[in-house]
A and B are shown apart, each in its own frame.
Chain A
Amino acid sequence: MTAALLSALLSHWWRNPVQLFTLLAGLSLGTALWTGVQAINAEARASYDDAARTLDEGQLAQLATASGAPISEQTYVALRRAGWLVSPVIEGRLGSVRIIGIDPLTLPRDTGAARMMTGADLSGFLIPPGQILAQAETLNRLPDTDAARIATPGAAPGVAITDIGVAQLLLNRVGQIDRLMVTPEQPLGQRPLADVAPDLLLTAAQGSTDVARLTDSFHLNLTAFGLLSFVVGLFIVHGAIGLAFEQRRPMLRSLRALGAPLNRLIALMVLELAGLALIAGGVGIALGYAMAAALLPDVAATLRGLYGAEVAGQLVLRPVWVISGLAMALGGTAAAAAGSLWSLARMPLLASALPQAWGAARTGRAQVTFALVLLGLAGALTQWGQGLLAGFVLLGALLIGGALLLPPILRAVLHWAEARARGPLAQWFWADTRQQLPGLSLALMALLLAMAANVGVSTMVSSFRLTFVAFLDQRLASELYVTTANPAEADRVLNSLEGTVDAVLPLLSMRQSVAGQPVELYGARDHATYRDNWHLLQAVPDAWDALARGEGVLINEQLFRRAGLGLGAPVPLAQGGALPVLGIYGDYGNPIGQIVLTEAEFRARYPEVTALRFGLRLDPGRVPDLRAKLQADAGLPASGIVDQAAIKALSLDVFERTFLVTSALNMLTLAVAGFAILMGLLTLAAMRLPQMAPVWALGVTRRHLALLDLGRALLLAALTGVLALPLGLALAWALLAIVNVEAFGWRLPMSLFWMDYLRLGVFALLAAAVAAAWPAWRLSRMKPARLLGVFRHER
């Protein structure tokens, strides 16, 4: 009997292939977007872990100078000879590859680098020209060097290991060490650090890596997008399943009347849905994989540019996201089908075979109340919410609340229009539109969400871009930036610059910790460059003069927000007490806090720090000449001289790539929503015949009816679009003012981009038109016999 029941149940799908397609496609698309995002996240996280494991960053204590200045080899040897088991590390970039120089003889045993060295030819590694160990793909990105290239599959992407001596040569930093890894087990009788190397700071093992924390917000963003897409996909699935259950009510009643037990029927339907979910999930995972593979290079570029985090350009099939994709497909189907199964379980044996007014019950008072509660929650969170998670809850509440409110609002609007309609056809049009609303509301909600997300995200991105470009223009005021390897080279550069430029601005910097936050300290020379170009968000009167007198400091917005340091608040500095905040400046694109002191204050407090980087002010036309002169006279490598235009181009490129992924996901969501409308209309088409046939019988042509249908779809899409705009702007505001502040530490001014919204509206109408065209065309070509048939049938 089971086989017979199953074939009866499945026969529905054979007779309604479009419905089957809807179900599978909706679920596949939702799963694909979810899986794709998960795959990208999993890949990126795995890459960070690999990279961090190379030197067990965070797992080992470290020694470094407070100023970030290099450690001398003498200091290293002095520490070793004082019983400190430390191992030197130098890091730098060759092209786009992160070069890590290590000493294999003192390297702590359990580091990833030590594992990479297993089986290596040690003498080849140690003796110049040495060897570079990295993944083959990374080796290809390396510029030409004398060192032998050894493909090492276990290496982290974008990371190359070489001997410290070789690395010093490659990086043009002979004699320098960036930091020392401290072996966990130290010998007895070690001399105190303060006696041996007083200028070094010991950082305890941390357990997590900076890059993981920095990129959390980025991944949370992606996850939210994935989830949003999946929810949109679920709207489609819910629609398809609901329709299928409604249409099978007569069959189910017949089967039960013939003696099929209810339990077995339900069990079989669950089985059927699970099978469909697995198929759709599998397809979705494959699609998601393809999507992730296509997007990953951009994501990798984004992460590298924004956070310096390396991500492999190639995707690995990881069980984590395959399982998560299938679980989402099954869970989503269960969620979408739960209501239908529940009503089936409670269906009286002799219930009417007529489909219920499908979905009509959903638009009741309860829904409005729930929507208002969600919007209230969102409002409350803007006032009292804390943290990134609250930000995302706010976004979720806003979007779902807005979506739930859509059908009641549309109904009210249609009601209002119907009351003002003149003529029977117009009245029928409005009434019929309202009557279709329950069946289309899920698709329209999907469209609303997609459009709102589009408006919100594009507003955020465009606002960000506008601010960022202006910020770059202000901040990168110097025409040329010069980086020297050591104080001697810096002196040579300064000497050769004598009298050739308008101003030399030394960039003095060091790192320290303020209120538990890592912070960069800068010593700025009092020069018009800063006064003219730095825009202060908040400042005491005559802040620049006060700064020049050494009466306080300027801090960036990130530090202001994270450490809660307002104007006048004392900023604790490592040496010589605290200085008050004189002003707060915007600092976009930088993940960590900054403090600016005058050059004199800085030099007095940190005499051990010498300036190795300089900004040069000069006539832009003379930049190429000066560059050549610096290379010839001071022997600076070309990589040590960067002009303003190049930095700007690089920064903008990073920016564009950052949001390329976002806009791609945006368009995909919109496409899914368009598809939802198509499927909604197709499934409704058959059910609406009884309503259409009488109108046709009264003399309205099929063509006219089809045009009315097309117009109806456009009307609903337009109304949805109009409602999506305020929702999207609210979303943009939440992203800019709340999520961004939490994630990145800065607040962006919100700008409006009406042309973009208009274009989006046209896209949405186009999507609706395309979606409605095929059902309308089918209606216009429908055989009159089918329409006549309505009057023959019972129903």
Chain B
Amino acid sequence: MSVRIWLLLMLLAAPLTGLAQGFAGLGSRAEGFALPSPDRVLQFPADHGAHPAFRIEWWYLTANMTGPDGTPYGLQWTLFRSALAPEDGQGWGAPQLWMGHAAVTTPTAHHVTERLARGGIGQAGVTAAPFAAWIDDWSLTGPDFDHLRLTASGPDFAYDVNLQARGPLVLHGQNGYSVKSAQGQASHYYSQPAFALSGTLRLAEGEVKVTGSAWLDREWSSQPLAQDQTGWDWFSLSFDSGDKLMGFVLRGADDYTSATWIGADGTVTSFKDGAFEARPLTWHNVAGRSVPVGWQVRLPIRGVDVTLRAVNPDAWMATSVPYWEGPVTLTGSHDGVGYLEMTGYGE
């Protein structure tokens, strides 16, 4: 899922409101960071924790849910780690910075909030066992990685849900060594795509009991990627059949696509550029930009030809660097739900 590396770098490279474009200083401090290696065998639970020697890392969770009356809801919880230097440490001067994004999407509303924190004073961090990832009062914790409790809060929403893994971890690429470009840039990358979710959303209209499924991505790397692309469209789809599809399009002079098929039986298949296709169908104006919120997505090799519709076309992430991220419903060759992330649609 290379796009998310770019997302992070874009977030950190762009001038944050009232903050520093100094995050861009990252580029000049690349020396000394650890590099992903194909020989590395991921070790659990240790690798659920943070890897401060690498420059960037995230714990990225999205969920499709329904309320008691069948209303669809979406949820996002992301913890980014960004190291200014490849070392851990205590105190204010420690170079590990953290950023959290949390959102809840309903058919009529989209609630977003963001947190920034220092690692060295304990305001944010991740420990592997027992597992705990936190920033401020937000947390993803549990006795192990299969049983987690997720919380977050903003001025106008909060949530508290339980997650139970319904399948094994999925290691992407070569045993979790995921090559990202022809130049050989790579990341360590694994997912838990099959959490069963139940819990409570706290919204202005009151508390809502929800159930659904969640997808958690874990990825860390140190290498910035080439940035000739203007943006990307990323899809994670859960079909009613139990199969799952992750795919993305990097928009540029030549579009570049990639996809991973996760069968209901747990088998994982990667597809190279061109196998996956995505075409905008309907556009929507949000935050002064025109964004495609309806899509035709195809993976002919698996007989997939579905139409995506945003649960809420206004799922705009008004964070330091804004982007669109929200739940979608699918119809066509397969029925199901999914999450859509789109960046690089200018004003």
Contact = CB atoms under 8 A, between A and B. Distances in A.
B150 interface: no
Given A80-B136, A82-B137, A117 B158 contact: no
Contact of A188 (B17, B22, B95, B158): B158
B117 A126 contact: no
Contacts of A73: 121
Nearest to B124: A80
B113 A187 contact: yes
B5 to A, nearest CB: 19
A123 B202 CA distance: 36
Nearest to A119: B21
Contacts of B20: 104, 117-123, 125
A652 to B, nearest CB: 40
A168 interface: yes
A444 to B, nearest CB: 62
Contacts of B34: none
Interface stretch (B84-92, B209-217, B223-231, B328-336): B84-92
A658 to B, nearest CB: 38
A165 B18 contact: no
B93 interface: yes
A119 B92 contact: no
B39 to A, nearest CB: 31
B154 interface: yes
Interface in B149-188: 153-158
Nearest to A184: B155
Given A117-B19, A124-B25, A168-B92, A187 B84 contact: no
Given A117-B20, A165-B93, A187-B155, A126 B84 contact: yes
Nearest to B25: A123
Q: Closest 7 CB pairs between A and B?
A: A165-B92, A122-B20, A122-B22, A121-B22, A114-B18, A83-B137, A105-B116
Contacts of B17: 109
A417 interface: no
Given A115-B18, A120-B22, A187-B137, 14 more contacts: A80-B136, A81-B136, A83-B136, A105-B116, A109-B18, A118-B19, A121-B25, A122-B20, A122-B21, A124-B25, A126-B95, A130-B93, A185-B155, A187-B153
Interface in B118-136: 118, 121-123, 134, 136
B29 interface: yes
A187 B26 contact: no
Interface string A157-174: 000000111101000001
A320 interface: no
Given A185-B155, A187-B158, A127 B91 contact: no
Interface of B: 15, 17-23, 25-26, 29, 84-85, 91-93, 95, 97, 113, 116-118, 121-123, 134, 136-137, 153-158, 202
A423 interface: no
Contacts, number: 112
Contacts of A114: 18-19
A123 B26 contact: yes
A124 B22 contact: yes
A119 B15 contact: yes
Given A81-B123, A185-B155, A187-B154, A127 B117 contact: no
Nearest to A110: B18
Q: Which of A81, A120, A166 has the most CB of B within 10 A?
A: A81
A182 to B, nearest CB: 13
A185 B158 CA distance: 14
A176 B184 CA distance: 47
A82 B155 CA distance: 14
A85 B17 CA distance: 17
Contacts of A463: none
Contact of B92 (A115, A121, A163): A163
A188 B153 contact: yes
Nearest to A106: B116
B22 A83 contact: no
A105 B93 CA distance: 13
Given A117-B19, A127-B85, A128-B93, A188 B154 contact: yes
